[in-house]
């Protein structure tokens, strides 16, 4: 018996030595591994893996999507940055130059966009002008055509319906202005500290279905209190139903995506002649390094991929809406508009070909009454988050926050409107399902931001591999 134990102990020791490198010394963990070693393989609640998303996004989708977003239709976004915060009065406005947003002058926006800011085509624009005229008269004018009267009633009903996940800006307000997104890029502005933390804390603490008795393991942007609280928090999260768990992961993924943008377009150097923007590796590590964030950073990055799959799925579902001959990317330049619609459809068909789409059929699939209640809670929580964006003190952060929240809300609206999309007529007004120009611009720009984040993760991975 003694010899047998000696043999077994020796065998275990030999295996340990072989597995641990020369003389039993563990190889050093690289900076890239500390951020990315856990960000691989299959995602929770999905049949897709990170590597498939990377290849699809970075080499097949990203370049064409960026080209589309540089076009006139998608670069001009109308937004009201002057809406007051509905939740507290002590909002501090950021005084930094990089927080400012430069709105467009009237002559900078194509006439076709200004005249059709609400709907998406020349036909729809003509209808909405008739609708607005009727509204000023106090009723549906009987002199309008029967089709137009029906459009007025249906669109009004739809816009007031429970299908919308965001509380959108009133773009007819005098305070709403067009912003050129290319001239006001999302990047690091210096907006941080208690004011910024307050926004994310309210979002996480009050709008992510989290019991008040459970503490988050980490502040949204910094390290936290230890492994025990982390395990308690995530054990609670894993115990949620798939819908509530997905809600948290969507918000966490959006937060992670924004932090990737800020780290990738960081003010590295400033002189009186120019500003140099680029990748700040230290900033990225502080937000996503597995050790510095006590394990939460890689979770955030995996949630970013989850968000990517959700919005990708929505775009694949809404293809029939954009394929309709009545739909235009209307700017007033017919040749340009036709070219961009062709590019848009190429991108959407590429998205539709993605082999491992998220399966949303598990959402709200239980008891009908309970499922409807859960869906309504889901929608109200998200609408509340859209209102919180008016409390962001940095105007550039507010701009991109409002756009990305509206884009995600539009994606959710699409996912929950599958039957309405399937029943759309091949031509003519679509009464049951439609998207405003604001929704379309925010949908594609929001997905463009996530697509950029996935691409930037590849850049950061390469940069970190050079750090020893």
* Tens of pLDDT, residue by residue, the chain (468 residues): 444 443 343 433 433 333 444 444 556 678 778 888 788 888 877 778 899 999 999 999 999 999 999 999 999 999 999 998 888 886 666 667 888 899 999 889 998 888 754 445 455 555 545 544 544 444 444 444 555 555 545 544 444 445 677 666 667 778 889 999 999 999 988 888 788 888 888 888 777 766 655 555 544 444 444 444 555 555 556 666 777 788 889 999 999 999 999 999 999 988 888 889 999 999 999 999 989 988 889 999 999 999 999 999 999 999 999 999 888 898 989 999 999 999 999 999 999 999 888 887 767 666 677 777 777 888 888 888 889 999 998 999 999 999 999 999 999 999 888 888 988 888 777 777 889 999 999 999 999 999 999 999 999 999 998 876
Which among 94, 131, 208, 394 is annotated as catalytic? 394
394 is catalytic: yes
* Annotated domain spans of the chain: 31-107+163-211+231-466
- Give the CA angle between residues 402, 303, 250 to the nearest 5°: 40
CA 35, 57, 66, 435: dihedral to nearest 10 degrees?
-110
- If we measure between CA atoms, which residue out of 390, 408, 424, 463 comes closest to residue 169? 390
C-beta separation of 68 from 340 below 8 A: yes
Cβ neighbours, 10 Å, residue 24: 11
Q: What gap in Å lies between CA 373 and CA 104, rounded to an integer?
A: 42
Q: Is 386 annotated as a binding residue?
A: no
Give the per-residue pLDDT at 211: 60
CA-to-CA separations, 445 to 299, 318, 362, in angstroms, rounded: 24, 16, 27
Give the containing element (helix H, strand E) for 194: helix 194-207
C-beta separation of 261 from 284 below 8 A: no
C-beta separation of 453 from 261 below 8 A: yes
**In sequence order, which residues have a C-beta less than 8 Å from that of residue 39 and are 6 or more positions away?**
50, 298, 301, 302, 305, 457
Question: Residue 382 CA to chain centroid, in angstroms?
Answer: 12
Count of all residues that appear for the chain in the document: 468
Give the containing element (helix H, strand E) for 345: helix 334-352
Q: Is 189 annotated as a binding residue?
A: yes
Give the per-residue pLDDT at 406: 93
CA-to-CA separations, 300 to 248, 259, 260, in angstroms, rounded: 11, 10, 11
Give the per-residue pLDDT at 246: 85
Give the containing element (helix H, strand E) for 419: helix 418-422
397 is catalytic: yes
| DSSP state, residue 284 | H
- If we measure between CA atoms, which residue out of 299, 287, 292 comes closest to residue 231? 299
C-beta separation of 422 from 429 below 8 A: no
Q: Is 200 annotated as a binding residue?
A: yes
Q: Is 252 annotated as a binding residue?
A: yes
Give the per-residue pLDDT at 28: 65
Answer yes or no: pTM beyond 0.85.
no
Q: Is 219 annotated as a binding residue?
A: no
Q: What gap in Å lies between CA 134 and CA 258, rounded to an integer?
A: 42
The structure tokens listed for 285 are: 């590590």
* Phi then psi dihedrals of residue 278, to 5 deg: -175, -165
C-beta separation of 408 from 254 below 8 A: yes
* Phi then psi dihedrals of residue 268, to 5 deg: -85, -35
Cβ neighbours, 10 Å, residue 357: 17
C-beta separation of 414 from 407 below 8 A: no
Q: Is 349 annotated as a binding residue?
A: no
The structure tokens listed for 446 are: 């929001």
Q: What gap in Å lies between CA 453 and CA 261, rounded to an integer?
A: 6
| DSSP state, residue 98 | G
Q: What gap in Å lies between CA 197 and CA 191, rounded to an integer?
A: 10
Considering just the CA atoms, what is the radius of gyration of the chain in Å? 25
Q: What gap in Å lies between CA 121 and CA 243, rounded to an integer?
A: 35
Side-chain-side CA neighbours of 239 within 13 Å: the count stands at 10
Sign of the alpha-carbon torsion through 9, 15, 17, 19: negative
C-beta separation of 331 from 121 below 8 A: no
Tokens 């691989």 found at: 40
C-beta separation of 184 from 102 below 8 A: yes
């Amino acid at each position: 018996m003694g010899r047998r134990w000696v043999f077994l102990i020796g065998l275990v020791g030999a295996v340990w030595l072989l597995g641990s490198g020369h003389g039993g010394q563990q190889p050093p963990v690289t900076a890239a591994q500390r951020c990315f070693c856990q960000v691989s393989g299959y995602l929770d609640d999905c049949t897709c893996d990170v590597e498939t998303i990377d290849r699809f996004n970075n080499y097949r989708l990203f370049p064409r999507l960026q080209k589309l977003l540089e076009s006139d239709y998608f670069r001009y976004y109308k937004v009201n940055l002057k809406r007051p915060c509905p939740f507290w009065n002590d909002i501090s406005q950021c005084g930094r130059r990089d927080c400012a947003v430069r709105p467009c002058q009237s002559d900078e926006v194509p006439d076709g966009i200004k005249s059709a800011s609400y709907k998406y085509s020349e036909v729809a624009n003509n209808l909405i002008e008739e609708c607005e005229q009727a509204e000023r008269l106090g009723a549906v004018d009987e002199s309008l055509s029967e089709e137009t009267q029906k459009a007025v009633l249906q669109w009004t009903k739809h816009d007031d319906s429970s299908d919308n996940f965001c509380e959108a800006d009133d773009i007819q307000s005098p305070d709403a202005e067009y912003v050129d997104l290319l001239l006001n890029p999302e990047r690091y502005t210096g907006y941080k500290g208690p004011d910024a933390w307050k926004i994310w804390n309210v979002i996480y603490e009050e709008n992510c279905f989290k019991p008040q008795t459970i503490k988050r393991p980490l502040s949204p942007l910094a390290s936290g209190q230890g492994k025990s609280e982390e395990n308690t928090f995530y054990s609670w999260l894993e115990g949620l139903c798939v819908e509530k768990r997905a809600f948290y992961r969507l918000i966490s993924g959006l937060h992670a995506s924004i932090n990737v943008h800020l780290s990738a377009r960081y003010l590295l150097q400033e002189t009186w002649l120019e500003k140099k923007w680029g990748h700040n590796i230290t900033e990225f590590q502080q937000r996503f390094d597995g050790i510095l964030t006590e394990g939460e950073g890689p979770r955030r990055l995996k949630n970013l991929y989850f968000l990517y799959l959700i919005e990708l799925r929505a775009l694949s579902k809404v293809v029939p809406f954009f394929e309709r001959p009545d739909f235009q990317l209307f700017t007033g330049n017919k040749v340009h508009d036709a070219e961009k619609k062709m590019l848009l459809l190429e991108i959407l068909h590429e998205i539709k070909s993605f082999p491992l789409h998220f399966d949303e059929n598990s959402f709200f699939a239980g008891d009908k009454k309970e499922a409807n209640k859960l869906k309504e809670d889901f929608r109200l929580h998200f609408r509340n988050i859209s209102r919180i964006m008016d409390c962001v003190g940095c105007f550039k952060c507010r701009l991109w926050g409002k756009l990305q929240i509206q884009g995600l809300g539009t994606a959710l609206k699409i996912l929950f409107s599958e039957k309405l999309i399937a029943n759309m007529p091949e031509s003519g007004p679509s009464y049951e399902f439609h998207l405003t120009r604001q929704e379309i611009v925010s949908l594609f720009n929001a997905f463009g931001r996530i697509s950029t984040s996935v691409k930037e993760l590849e850049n950061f991975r390469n940069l970190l591999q050079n750090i020893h």
